[in-house]
């Protein structure tokens, strides 16, 4: 069946020689060139060929991953040009260990000393303290670090003084310039800025409240791009990968887009990027199934206006108490007169103030206020206002017109049975993530840095597409969700 995929000169055994017994693809088993198995006698010693690596690192998703072979695959599998697609993300553990702040500064110092010992040994001997050998000659984790907070801060500040003295010598006019350009030295400088503060000429350990935001904080000197991430109960140091795939019933489910971000990057920040990349590669879906994390009011509008994509997924609900009590009067019950820039409450009273503003998340909003006179004598005040002020008034905050209307329409739609049936198709992306994690090592990065981790994810996506395309051409049907005998017994009863 591979003859139909690659042509006559690419035989089945070429693929089989690169596959393990459990269906995993072994990239190193056969060199690949531009997504097709290489026919030249030259063999590449690395898992990825130079052309593949170059295309990936240039950020050209149409010529890497697969994506490498995607236009050819489209012609083979058929289907509409604008297929439905779905996206989800999962966490990726960095190649480095997760360590605490105290171990991080100690390892940063050790990393810098080891790097300087290799390139400038004589200079380091002249500018280092013999006591440093006991402190940094071995891994910090092998030391018996104190348990009390006061003692740990004392150790941290001792390390801080050592690092500060080293950085001072490195920045001196007589020090060789190239020493300051060593990556380990630059990482040491950045970690010291993040973890220490100078007060009256003395270096002090920063409190947890005085640290930089998570998307900037370096958690390990050995991978300065790995970030701390948290999603519900899951906490990790590393990255996040977003996978987008087709989900038509009569075609193979192939990955069309892969993006790797820092762990602290939110899902909603990537929706616009994914849509723009899909448009660039002529893979724009007609419908895009997403979970709540990817959907915001601006995205509901921009996806339709700029890309012609219908976003299907549950929008964030109104968290105000009025929307979560039985008789509460929430913002959706107010009629908005956009031309007159007024809102009308359910009791027929018009607002007296209409103020465009920017909220804490830098979103454009409109703050609308009602008269204290109208609100003070309203019979439904108890279901509308909980203010302790003497003169009470209702204030609502809404989005600009296009965003407000799109958000309200999405909230109404997601309460219907038709939406539940349509949105159920999104859960299939969980199977793709599971396949990537269990069969292809998606959960843990094999490399240092965001760019190389992304390259790994592109290779995994290419392998998944290869396995799925071959299975589809061979006539293999999608396996149904597993149901245990106990579940089947109750479903049949």
390 — pLDDT class (breaks 50, 70, 90): confident
CB-based contacts of 267, cutoff 8 Å, min separation 6 = 89, 242, 291, 293, 294
Residue position matching structure tokens 């060593």: 182
Least confident of 43-57, 120-134, 191-205: 43-57
> Above 80 in pLDDT, residue 407?
yes
Task: State pTM to two decimals.
Answer: 0.82
Scan for tokens 């899909």, then name that residue.
Answer: 278
* Amino acid 16: pLDDT: 40
Interhelix angle 50-57/450-473, nearest 10 degrees: 110
State the Cα–Cα distance between residues 124 and 204, nearest whole angstrom. 25
Residue 275 · residue 250 · CB < 8 Å? no
Chain centroid to CA 62: 21
In this prediction, residue 3 has a pLDDT band, given cuts at 50, 70 and 90, of: very low
- pLDDT at residue 229 greater than cutoff 90: yes
What is the predicted pLDDT for the residue at 466?
A: 87
CA 79 to each of CA 7, 85, 315: distance values in angstroms, whole numbers, following the listed order = 21, 13, 29
CA dihedral 179, 180, 184, 188 (to 10 degrees): 130
Question: 255 is written with which tokens?
Answer: 């990955």
C-alpha span between 110 and 112 (Å, rounded) = 5
More confident residue, 479 or 57: 479
Does position 18 have pLDDT exceeding 50, yes or no?
Answer: no
User: Token pair for residue 379?
Assistant: 């019979």
Q: How many CB atoms lie within 10 A of CB 55?
A: 21
pLDDT at 48 over 90: no
Least reliable range by pLDDT among 87-96, 384-393, 413-422: 384-393
Vertex 238: Cα angle to 205 and 117 (nearest 5): 60
Q: Greater confidence, 40 or 493? A: 493
Which pLDDT does position 88 carry in this prediction?
Answer: 96
Q: What is the mean pLDDT of the segment spanning 365-393?
A: 91
pLDDT in tens, 115-143: 999 999 999 999 999 999 999 999 888 77
Residues contacting residue 23 through CB under 8 Å, at least 6 positions apart? 439, 467
Q: What is the pLDDT of residue 243?
A: 97
* pLDDT for 478: 77
Report the pLDDT averaged over residues 234-242: 95
Task: Please answer whether residues 316 and 292 qualify as being in contact, where contact means their C-beta atoms are separated by less than 8 angstroms.
Answer: yes
pLDDT in tens, 251-304: 889 999 999 999 999 999 999 999 999 999 888 999 999 999 999 999 999 999
On average, the pLDDT of the chain sits at 85
d(CA 460, CA 465): 9
pLDDT tops 70 at residue 165: yes
Question: pLDDT at position 81, please?
Answer: 67
pLDDT at 169 over 90: yes
pLDDT greater than 80 at residue 209: yes
| pLDDT band, very low/low/confident/very high, at 78 (cuts 50, 70, 90) | low
User: Which pLDDT score is estimated for 24?
Assistant: 40
**For residue 412, what are the CA distances in angstroms to 36, 399, 488?**
48, 17, 34
How do residues 308-319 score in pLDDT, each as one tens digit?
Answer: 999 999 999 899
- Structural tokens at position 254: 């192939």
| Residue whose pair of structure tokens reads 């609502």 in the numeric block | 396
Task: Return the closest-CA partner of residue 184 out of 113, 100, 128.
Answer: 113
Q: Say if CB 61 and CB 277 are below 8 A apart.
A: yes
């Amino acid at each position: 069946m591979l003859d139909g995929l690659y042509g006559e000169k690419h035989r089945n055994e070429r693929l089989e020689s690169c596959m393990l017994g459990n269906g995993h693809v072994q990239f190193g088993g056969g060199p690949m060139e531009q997504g097709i198995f290489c026919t030249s006698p030259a063999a590449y010693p690395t898992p990825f060929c130079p052309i593949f690596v170059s295309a990936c690192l240039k950020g050209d998703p149409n010529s890497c991953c697969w994506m490498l072979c995607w236009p050819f695959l489209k012609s083979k599998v058929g289907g509409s040009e604008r297929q439905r697609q779905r996206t989800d993300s999962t966490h990726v553990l960095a190649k480095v260990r997760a360590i605490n702040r105290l171990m991080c500064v100690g390892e940063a110092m050790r990393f810098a000393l080891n790097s300087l010992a290799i390139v400038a040994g004589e200079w380091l001997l002249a500018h280092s303290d013999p006591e440093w050998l006991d402190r940094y000659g071995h891994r910090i984790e092998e030391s018996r670090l104190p348990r009390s907070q006061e003692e740990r801060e004392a150790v941290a500040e001792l390390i801080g003084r050592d690092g500060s003295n080293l950085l001072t010598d490195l920045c001196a006019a007589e020090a060789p310039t190239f020493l300051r350009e060593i990556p380990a030295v630059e990482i040491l400088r950045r970690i010291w800025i993040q973890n220490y503060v100078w007060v009256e000429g003395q270096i002090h350990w920063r409190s947890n409240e005085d640290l930089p935001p998570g998307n900037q904080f370096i958690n390990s000197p050995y991978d300065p791009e790995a970030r701390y991430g948290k999603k519900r109960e899951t906490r990790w140091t590393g990255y996040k990968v977003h996978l987008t795939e087709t989900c038509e019933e009569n075609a193979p489910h192939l990955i069309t887009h892969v993006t790797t971000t820092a762990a602290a990057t939110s899902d909603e920040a990537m929706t616009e990027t994914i849509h723009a990349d899909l448009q660039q590669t002529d893979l724009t879906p007609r419908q895009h199934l997403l979970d709540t994390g990817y959907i915001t009011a601006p995205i509901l509008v921009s996806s339709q206006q700029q890309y012609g994509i219908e976003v299907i997924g549950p929008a964030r609900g109104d968290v105000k108490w009025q929307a979560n009590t039985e008789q509460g009067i929430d913002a959706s019950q107010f009629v908005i007169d956009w031309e007159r820039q007024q809102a009308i409450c359910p009791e027929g009273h018009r607002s007296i103030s209409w103020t465009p503003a920017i909220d804490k998340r830098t979103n454009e909003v409109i703050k609308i206020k009602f008269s204290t006179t109208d609100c003070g004598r309203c019979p439904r005040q108890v279901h509308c206002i909980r203010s302790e002020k003497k003169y009470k008034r209702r204030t609502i905050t809404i989005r600009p017109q296009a965003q407000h209307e799109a958000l309200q329409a999405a909230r109404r739609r997601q309460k219907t049975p038709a939406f539940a049936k349509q949105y159920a198709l999104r859960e299939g992306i969980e199977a793709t993530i599971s396949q990537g994690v269990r069969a292809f090592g998606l959960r843990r990065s094999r490399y240092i840095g965001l760019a190389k981790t992304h390259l790994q994810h592109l290779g995994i996506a290419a392998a998944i597409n290869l396995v799925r395309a071959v299975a589809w051409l061979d006539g293999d049907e999608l396996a149904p969700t597993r149901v245990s005998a106990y579940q089947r017994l109750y479903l049949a009863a």
